[in-house]
Amino acid sequence: MDLLSDQLWAVGRVESPLTDRDAAPRQGDEGAPQAGIVFHPEMRDAMADLRVGDKIMVLTWLHQGRRDVLSVHPRDDVSRPRQGVFSTRSADRPNPIGMHAVTIIDIAGDVITVRDLEAIDGTPVIDVKPLLGAVHER
Amino acid sequence: MDLLSDQLWAVGRVESPLTDRDAAPRQGDEGAPQAGIVFHPEMRDAMADLRVGDKIMVLTWLHQGRRDVLSVHPRDDVSRPRQGVFSTRSADRPNPIGMHAVTIIDIAGDVITVRDLEAIDGTPVIDVKPLLGAVHER
């Protein structure tokens, strides 16, 4: 495969009571706790317009993911047939990017607190984007 | 900022009639054409369970994005105040990752065809994920 010449930056890190990948919920809406996103101080201008109540997509780098895995049993259930990882949300995949739809419930300095984030403590955050509403609201 | 030690792979490339970033629609549902995603042959097992009709999220690396930009006028409209890029979908951002919700309309070998993809020709694809339904359907 082609290696991209550009490299990813960690724009922040997840701060969470979850420390064990195997014990974490599979998705944010399956019992994940509230968690902090601690932005790098250089990101202050990029995060300046985030507001409490905003629904955002947080992209993370699932640093414990196995990058050589191309198919998995969905939800680690061996009674289910293996599926190609592009049809699953497995953390094991060629580029282990996590995608988390969350709501901001607090902002204090460089830290935002969100609900329902299943990423474990220390997970690098690589991007934050607004969830889009209707075309006329953009 | 922290550079992540892992590097991104291009798992595929966009094949599109769009060649000029400035002429491309801002979002897929604002008049984007249908486009192909040509997967790397090594990704065959990862894409094996994609099906026509699937709604997927395609993540791209917007290789023409400016990574030193932290705030922008939304939609390049200078009458609108600058906003931090984490509150916008600007392609200029520290990690220029594009997020595109599309529907698969054809699959032929290593190529899937999707509707409404605003990324330009040649854009590297870094991940594909299913859009999730209700918890009980996973």
Burial A29-61 (b: 16+ CB within 10 A, else e): eeebeebbbebbeebeebbebbeeebebbbbbb
A63 CB neighbour count, 10 Å cutoff: 18
Q: Which CATH superfamily is domain B12-63+100-132 in?
A: YaeB-like (2.40.30.70)
Distance separating alpha carbons of residues B32 and B121, to the nearest angstrom: 12
Contacts across the A-B interface (CB distance below 8 Å): 181
Q: In sequence order, which residues have a C-beta less than 8 Å from that of residue A71 and are 6 or more positions away?
A: A82, A83, A84, A85, B45, B46, B48
**Closest partner residue to A10 among B1, B50, B124, by Cβ?**
B1
- Tens of pLDDT along A7-46? 899 999 999 999 988 878 888 787 788 999 999 999 999 9
Distance separating alpha carbons of residues A92 and A65, to the nearest angstrom: 5
- Tens of pLDDT along B24-46? 888 878 778 899 999 999 999 99
Backbone angles phi, psi at A136, to 5 degrees: -70, -10
Distance separating alpha carbons of residues B21 and B29, to the nearest angstrom: 16
Backbone angles phi, psi at A103, to 5 degrees: -115, 135
Domain boundaries, chain A: 15-131
Nearest to B60 by CA among B3, B103, B118: B118
- Tens of pLDDT along A64-94? 999 999 999 988 889 999 999 999 999 999 9
The answer to whether residue A138 scores a pLDDT higher than 60 is no
Mean pLDDT across A52-74: 95
Provide the shortest C-alpha distance from residue A24 to chain B (in Å). 16
Which of B8, B88, B123 would you mutate first to test chain A, the one with the most A CBs within 10 A? B8
- Tens of pLDDT along B51-60? 999 999 999 9
Interchain CB distance below 8 Å, A70 and B130: no
CA distances from residue B77 to A16, A38, A92, B83, B94 in whole angstroms, order as listed: 38, 30, 40, 11, 21
CA distances from residue A68 to A1, A125, B9 in whole angstroms, order as listed: 12, 22, 12
Percent of chain B past pLDDT 90, that is, above it, reads 73
Which of A3, A8, A76 would you mutate first to test chain B, the one with the most B CBs within 10 A? A8
Interchain CB distance below 8 Å, B40 and A2: yes
Max intra-chain CA distance, chain A: 48
The answer to whether residue B133 scores a pLDDT higher than 70 is no
Encoded amino acid at B135, one letter: V
The answer to whether residue B137 scores a pLDDT higher than 80 is no
Which of A23-32, A71-80, B91-100, B109-118 shows the lowest per-residue confidence on average (mean pLDDT)?
A: A23-32
Taking CB atoms and an 8 Å cutoff, what residues of chain A touch B99?
57, 59, 99, 129
**Closest partner residue to B86 among A4, A6, A50, by Cβ?**
A50
Interchain CB distance below 8 Å, A70 and B45: yes
Q: Does domain A15-131 have CATH number 2.40.30.70?
A: yes
